[in-house]
């Protein structure tokens, strides 16, 4: 297996990230450039897709762990505060069943290049996000994966936040259901001091 590297999404990694999204036509939700979950407050009228995502990244208002194979970004895991990422699926049901305070961070989207799927790269992206959150001070983290029955499959383009089992393998605990075939997973991440860029693989 190649040696993969986790890097944060920022101005220095934007071009590699944009190349991955260009390859996949802006990815899901109609080519949203992973902006669907972002706050729309303050967005200039008519600005969307790639230009809006790039502006968020360069202003420090978009966060993700990127998995690199050499110089190419091959996956990402989007995370951010509830203020940064307020738009989650099944939000009405989520709020109706919520008993705890909002988390410090949400994980809303995990995407893997079609040429790297079924190689464990999604797990690397999720672990990378947890590591970056730990370096940023840690806290309560929520994810909203698909809760599939044993043997049940979904096409990759609809599996936008991986599966409950992957979150469980990464130290998250089941909290409650959220909509049809989705759930809320939680984990408290302990803060650590930032170190050299983590390598996995």
d(CA 123, CA 43): 32
* pLDDT single digits (tens) 42-98: 888 889 999 999 999 999 999 999 999 999 999 999 999 999 999 999 999 999 999
* pLDDT single digits (tens) 35-56: 999 998 888 888 999 999 999 9
Helix 49-58 vs helix 14-23: angle between axes, to the nearest 10 degrees? Answer: 160
Average of per-residue pLDDT values in the chain: 90
At residue 159 the predicted structure's pLDDT band, cuts being 50, 70 and 90, is low
HSE-CB of 145 using CA atoms within 13 angstroms: 27
Positive or negative, the Cα torsion across 164, 168, 171, 175?
A: positive
CATH number 3.40.50.300 given to 4-195: no
> What is the per-residue pLDDT for 181?
87
Report domain extents, the chain. Answer: 4-195
Answer whether residue 201 shows pLDDT above 50. no
| pTM summary value | 0.90
């Amino acid at each position: 297996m190649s040696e993969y590297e986790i890097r944060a999404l920022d101005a220095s990694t934007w071009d590699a990230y944009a190349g991955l999204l260009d390859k996949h036509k802006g990815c899901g939700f109609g080519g949203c450039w992973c902006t669907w979950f972002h706050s729309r407050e303050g967005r200039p009228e008519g600005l969307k897709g790639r230009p809006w995502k790039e502006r968020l990244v360069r202003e420090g208002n978009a966060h993700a762990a990127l998995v690199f194979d050499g110089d190419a970004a091959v996956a990402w895991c989007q995370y951010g505060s509830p203020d940064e990422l307020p738009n989650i699926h099944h939000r009405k049901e989520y709020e109706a069943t919520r008993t705890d305070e909002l988390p410090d961070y949400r994980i809303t989207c995990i995407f893997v290049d079609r040429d790297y799927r079924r190689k464990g790269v999604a797990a690397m992206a999720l672990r990378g996000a947890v590591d970056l959150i730990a370096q940023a001070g840690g806290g309560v983290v929520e994810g909203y994966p698909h809760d599939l029955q044993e043997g049940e499959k979904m096409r990759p383009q609809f599996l936008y936040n991986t599966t409950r089992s992957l979150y469980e393998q990464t130290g998250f605990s089941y909290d409650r259901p959220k909509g049809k075939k989705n759930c809320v997973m939680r984990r408290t991440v302990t803060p650590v001091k930032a170190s050299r860029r983590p390598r996995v693989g």
